[in-house]
Every structure is written in C-alpha cells, then in structure tokens.
Chain A
C-alpha cells in the first residue's frame, strides 16, 4: 500500500519536472535536430545534395510511419537508406502509385508486393518529387540508440550504489552501538569486582513480594485489567473475523506485468476498449491477446515514463512485451503469426462468491456508473489490486445512495412516478426500486 501511495505522489511531481525539462530543453533539442539534419544532408551523397531531412521527418511521420519504420520491418519494409537500394525515378513512381507500377509488370515492384503479403501501399499522388527527396534524406538518419541507452543506465548504477552505501553505514552504526552496550556491561562487572576486592559489601536486598503477586492481591486492579483485556480481545477478535473472506488490497503477481497506469493512465485508453464485454455482459471480460496485438503489433518497445528504483526499466517493459509476443506466437522478424500459442493464465483478482450475482452491463450500461467507482483509481495502478471490499454491506450502501437515472426511459416512467410518490421523494434510489431485495442478488 505504501509503495502505491508513493507512486501516486511521484507521478504529478514527475510530470511537473518533465514539463520543466521540456520548457528549458526544447530550443536545444530543436537545434540538435537542425544540426543533425544539416550533417545528414551533407553526409549523404546518395541524396544528390537534394532533400531536407527535417522537412522529410515531418512528411515521414505524417504519411509513411503508419506502415514503415526506419530500422525494423513493420507492415512494409524498413526504410533506412532506401535511396541506395532503388533507383530514384523508380521510387518516385512507386510512392506516387505503387499499384500502377505493379500492374505494368515491373519485376522489382511485383517482387516487393509479393514479399510483403500483397499489402497495397497507399498511393501518394499529393507528394511532389521534392517531398520524396526530403523523405529519403530523412531515411539516412542514423540509429540514435547508444547515447540514450547509456544515460539512464549510468544513473541507475549510481542510485543502486548509494542504496548499498546507506546499508553499510547503518550496519556500521548498529555494530558500534552493540559494542558500546557490551563495553558498558564489562565495565560495570569489573567495577563490581574491584569493589568486592576492596571489601565493599553490598547490602542484601530485602525479599519483596514479587510484582505479579502484589498485582494478584489487588482485586480492583485485576478486575479492571481483565475487563480491559476482554474488551480488547473482543475488539480485535471481531475485527479479525470480519476481514476473513475479504480480499481488499489483493494484488497478485500476473504472468505478464500489465500496467494499467501506462495504458489507462498515460495513454488514456478507454476501459471498455479492452474490457469490451463489460458493456453488454455479466463479465467485464479479460481481453484476449488479439486485443493486445491491435496495438502491440506496432508497439514493440516501451518509450514512456520509467521508474528504475522499483525495477520498472525500459528493459523490463520491453521484456514484458516480448512475453506477449511469445504467448500469442508473433514473429517480429517476419511480422506474422507462427501459430505456436501459449495461452496466458491471468490471475483473477475480483471474485464474488458463487451465491452472489453481479452483472457488469447492468451497472456500466444501464446505470452508467464509472468503472472507478468500484475499481478505484485503476489508471494510477502500476500493479492492479482490488480496491473495494466487495462485501454485501458495501453493495447495499451504494444502492441506498445512488439515484436511478430515469431520463428518457419511457418503459419505467409510470412505475418510477408511483414509487417516487410512495416514498415522497423526487429521485428514486436503487434501494427504493427494489435494490435491497434478497432475490435480486441471491437466488
């Protein structure tokens, strides 16, 4: 619990920090990009001295990046240095209308079309030859990996080192303390021995009644203490028995680390996107892996916020995406499914006992209740946990407090009017509509 709280605190803080760094670093980054563009433009003789990489980057991201990556195969081939592989005029024709080229029987065009699963490349008649030159200039941008990877790694090592040194300091302090205590004992012992040797005689202690006997003889004290103990035992015993069967805070380790904080929080993906059956079925539905692959077909590595102190590094997240690929049988190199699937056994967190009925669609679609009302701030949870106690008292409390949304529901108009008259209220709550009847949930 403590960890999560800290994480909650850190996220706005880090956002502010990020904002600050962005504000102050933006001009320099832009400058770097411009410099880089200048260098790549001069470095690439293949571009025939034409082509502006900075303008090409914008065009690439707007038009090409949906299917092409620079260094990795996606729907289409990797485009790094594509200007060296093909004739420039051929590229112009291909990009402007690849289908025309294929139908004209150009051998090179047909070969590419067949190699990439006959996916049709969208025609870009709106791109001029100059635009295409710019894009090709951009494709010579070298892979920027090593510098970025080293930075956080170095920081990480430093952080780990300081943790270790803290532990060492604490250990040394503890050792010193223990030695001091031992020395104190030894000193008093030797002093006593010296005193005895010098003939000092300690007066013998009078035998007193032991403390527990004195306590037992005082009946008032015994009475008060026993009442106190009984009350305390009752209080703690009741508390203990009442939490049996309640899994509030249950946060099991899942086979693949899935961060709701990244997906629902940072990327603002709607809960219903993955839990699509919550809208229309009893179950919210654990998304099948094809839903994951809707996005992760394209997103093979993590580039978001990191938390190396808790072990959430880029390598960690990339490894989890690789676990997904292994489970679903996705071959990144060929961008196709191998057919070797290893179904993931997710650990169920929210589980009502068999004798209680709950229906998601009734709450999500009919009542229009936010998911967070029962599941808590899921968009802030790095590790999913059960937020609500899911006890009967908790259900009933909400039914008592929640007004039923009756607007536009002609079917129930009459009965709602009568109920409102019966209870003398404007708004009928779920409880007044029968939301407390045993048979609604237990049958």
Chain B
C-alpha cells in the first residue's frame, strides 16, 4: 500500500506544480506577455519611448537651444533683482476680468499654489502646516509689495525658495493665476476685489472661452464669494 501511495504522489505533485506555475506566472515587476507585439508597438517614435537613435536612448529630451514653442511670447524681463523690480513697476495684466478667467485662475491656483500659499493666500497651505516649508509670506505682507507684474515675474522665474512655474503653465494661465492672486491679496487686505465687468467684452471672451476649464460649480462659488465680500 505504502509503495503505491508514494508512486501516486509524483503525478499529483507534478500537477500541483503545473497549476502553481499557471497561477503565478504574472510577475509584478515585469510587463505581461502580449499577443502579436508588432501590433502593440508603434512604428514611429512614441512619446517617452526608448530608442537607440537618441542620446541616452531617451526620446524625452530638452528642445534644441533657442527653439520657441508654438504660441510662446518672449518674456523680456530678466531673471534678476532689477528685472523683478522693473516688472513690479510696469508690467500689467492684459486679461480682462471675466468670470471665466477668475474661475480658471482659482482652479489653477488650487492646483499649483495653494499647496504652499494656502487657499486664502495667507501662506498657510498644507505644506506649511506640515512644516515642510516654513515662513511662507502672506500676500498682504507689507515687506513684499506684490503687484500684477511681480506675481507674473515670480511665476516665470521663481524667487528664492520658490521655483519657476513656466514649464507647468502657459502665458494665459499665468495671467489667470495672477488675477486670482490679486483678488486674494485684496481679500486679505479687506479691499474690494476684482469683479467681472457687467458688460463683458465679446471679443475678449472668444479668446478665453476656448481655454476655460472650470466646471459650472466653480464659477458659482466664485460669485458667491464676491457677493459675500461686497455685503461685508
């Protein structure tokens, strides 16, 4: 009896092993097998692809020096203290104050700025509360007379510990954020905020509508905020 048992153990263990192999063949750190990979893999060079023709085999590269992206307007102020002061004094926001711009600015501010500067612009963002960043100034700080020009300039180049946001936002978006920051500063100082002109300029609207990303709810809250502040 014993001997026959032992003999049966071998096929059982083989079957068990095969079943285990089937179940465990997907390895987390390797991509799975593919049917006909030549249909999966692109013929052309794909974004973030790995090809021997490129330096370091990376498709992702910096554009050649001096190339200008489509839609890019050169920014003439230099990344120096003088440039900042010049921008602070003379650069102004070309965007009209519209609901779309304000809503888009608020949304972009929440993505890029609020994490440090706080939703109200008082320098109490989540990273400040968790003490990852310290000493983030409030927008109404008397030592930093922020203007439209200086806000835009600092987004372009960064200042001290703050980095540049030119790679994450485009010109329109930076001006929309600037508009929102000016509103936050006014709110902190208790001054009247920018409100959309009663008769919005139709030509100005055409430009911005296409870029506007804010859903309806966002716009409503913005309106509520402004009306509350007015009554206050």
Please give the residue numbers on chain A whose beta carbons come within 8 Å of chain B beta carbons, in ascending order.
60-67, 74-75, 118-120, 122-126, 210-211, 236, 240, 243-247, 249-253, 266-270, 272-273, 276, 279, 282-283, 286, 288, 290-291, 293-295, 297-299, 303, 343, 345-346, 348, 351, 353-355, 365, 368, 385, 405, 407-408
Contact check, A276 vs B168: say whether CB atoms are below 8 A apart. yes
Q: Does B164 contact A (CB under 8 A)?
A: yes
Contact check, B161 vs A283: say whether CB atoms are below 8 A apart. no
Q: Does B70 contact A (CB under 8 A)?
A: no
Q: Does B48 contact A (CB under 8 A)?
A: yes
23 chain-A/chain-B pairs, Cβ below 8 angstroms = A65-B135, A66-B135, A74-B161, A122-B137, A124-B143, A125-B142, A236-B22, A240-B22, A244-B33, A246-B32, A249-B28, A253-B29, A272-B112, A276-B169, A290-B163, A291-B168, A294-B165, A295-B132, A298-B161, A345-B57, A346-B48, A405-B215, A408-B216
Contact check, B28 vs A343: say whether CB atoms are below 8 A apart. no
Minimum CB–CB distance from A265 to chain B (whole Å) comes to 11
Contact check, B115 vs A270: say whether CB atoms are below 8 A apart. yes
Contact check, B111 vs A270: say whether CB atoms are below 8 A apart. yes
Specify the chain B residue showing the minimal Cβ separation from A69: B134
Minimum CB–CB distance from A205 to chain B (whole Å) comes to 9
B34, B115, B216: the one within 8 Å of A269 (CB)? B115
Q: Does B73 contact A (CB under 8 A)?
A: no
Contact check, A354 vs B41: say whether CB atoms are below 8 A apart. yes
Q: Could you mark each residue 148-170 of chain B with 1 if its beta carbon is under 8 Å from any beta carbon of chain A, else 0?
A: 00000000001011111101110
Assess A267 versus B126: contact at CB under 8 Å? Given A119-B160, A122-B144, A247-B31. yes
Residue from A63, A210, A276, A345 having most chain B Cβ neighbours under 10 A: A276
Q: In the bound complex, how far is the Cα of B134 from the Cα of A157, in angstroms?
A: 34
Q: In the bound complex, how far is the Cα of B84 from the Cα of A120, in angstroms?
A: 11
Contact check, B115 vs A268: say whether CB atoms are below 8 A apart. yes
**Ordered nearest first, which 7 A-B pairs have the shortest CB separation?**
A65-B134, A294-B163, A66-B135, A65-B135, A276-B168, A353-B40, A354-B42
A residues less than 8 Å from B167 (CB atoms): 276, 288, 290-291
Q: In the bound complex, how far is the Cα of B50 from the Cα of A232, in angstroms?
A: 41
Q: In the bound complex, how far is the Cα of B170 from the Cα of A279, in angstroms?
A: 12
Specify the chain A residue showing the minimal Cβ separation from B166: A290
A residues less than 8 Å from B77 (CB atoms): none
Query: What 13 new A-B contacts, CB under 8 Å, besides A291-B168, A385-B28?
Result: A60-B135, A61-B134, A62-B134, A122-B143, A240-B22, A286-B48, A288-B167, A295-B127, A345-B57, A353-B39, A354-B43, A355-B39, A405-B215
Q: In the bound complex, how far is the Cα of B48 from the Cα of A351, in angstroms?
A: 11
B residues less than 8 Å from A266 (CB atoms): 130
Q: Does B51 contact A (CB under 8 A)?
A: no
B26, B30, B110, B115: the one within 8 Å of A243 (CB)? B26
Contact check, A299 vs B132: say whether CB atoms are below 8 A apart. yes
Specify the chain B residue showing the minimal Cβ separation from A361: B213
Q: In the bound complex, how far is the Cα of B32 from the Cα of A124, in angstroms?
A: 60
Contact check, A273 vs B168: say whether CB atoms are below 8 A apart. yes
Specify the chain B residue showing the minimal Cβ separation from A354: B42
B residues less than 8 Å from A66 (CB atoms): 133-137, 160-161
Contact check, B58 vs A250: say whether CB atoms are below 8 A apart. no
B28, B126, B169: the one within 8 Å of A250 (CB)? B28
Contact check, B32 vs A244: say whether CB atoms are below 8 A apart. yes
Contact check, A343 vs B216: say whether CB atoms are below 8 A apart. no
B residues less than 8 Å from A119 (CB atoms): 81, 160
B residues less than 8 Å from A250 (CB atoms): 28, 30-32
B42, B126, B134: the one within 8 Å of A268 (CB)? B126
B residues less than 8 Å from A273 (CB atoms): 111-112, 115, 168
Q: In the bound complex, how far is the Cα of B31 from the Cα of A348, in angstroms?
A: 10
Residue from B31, B56, B60, B126 having most chain A Cβ neighbours under 10 A: B31
Residue from B42, B130, B134, B142 having most chain A Cβ neighbours under 10 A: B134
**Chain A interface mostly:** loop
Assess A267 versus B130: contact at CB under 8 Å? Given A246-B32, A354-B41, A355-B39. yes
B residues less than 8 Å from A253 (CB atoms): 29
Q: In the bound complex, how far is the Cα of B136 from the Cα of A345, in angstroms?
A: 33
Q: In the bound complex, how far is the Cα of B36 from the Cα of A245, in angstroms?
A: 9
B residues less than 8 Å from A244 (CB atoms): 32-35
Contact check, B168 vs A354: say whether CB atoms are below 8 A apart. no
A residues less than 8 Å from B213 (CB atoms): 279, 365
A residues less than 8 Å from B133 (CB atoms): 66, 295, 298-299
A residues less than 8 Å from B26 (CB atoms): 243, 249
Q: Does B47 contact A (CB under 8 A)?
A: yes
Residue from A74, A253, A346, A353 having most chain B Cβ neighbours under 10 A: A353
B residues less than 8 Å from A125 (CB atoms): 142-143
A residues less than 8 Å from B142 (CB atoms): 125-126
Q: In the bound complex, how far is the Cα of B130 from the Cα of A17, in angstroms?
A: 18
Minimum CB–CB distance from A409 to chain B (whole Å) comes to 10
Q: Could you mark each residue 115-133 of chain B with 1 if its beta carbon is under 8 Å from any beta carbon of chain A, else 0?
A: 1000000000011001111
A residues less than 8 Å from B165 (CB atoms): 294
Minimum CB–CB distance from B137 to chain A (whole Å) comes to 7
Contact check, B161 vs A343: say whether CB atoms are below 8 A apart. no
Minimum CB–CB distance from B72 to chain A (whole Å) comes to 14
B80, B111, B161: the one within 8 Å of A297 (CB)? B161
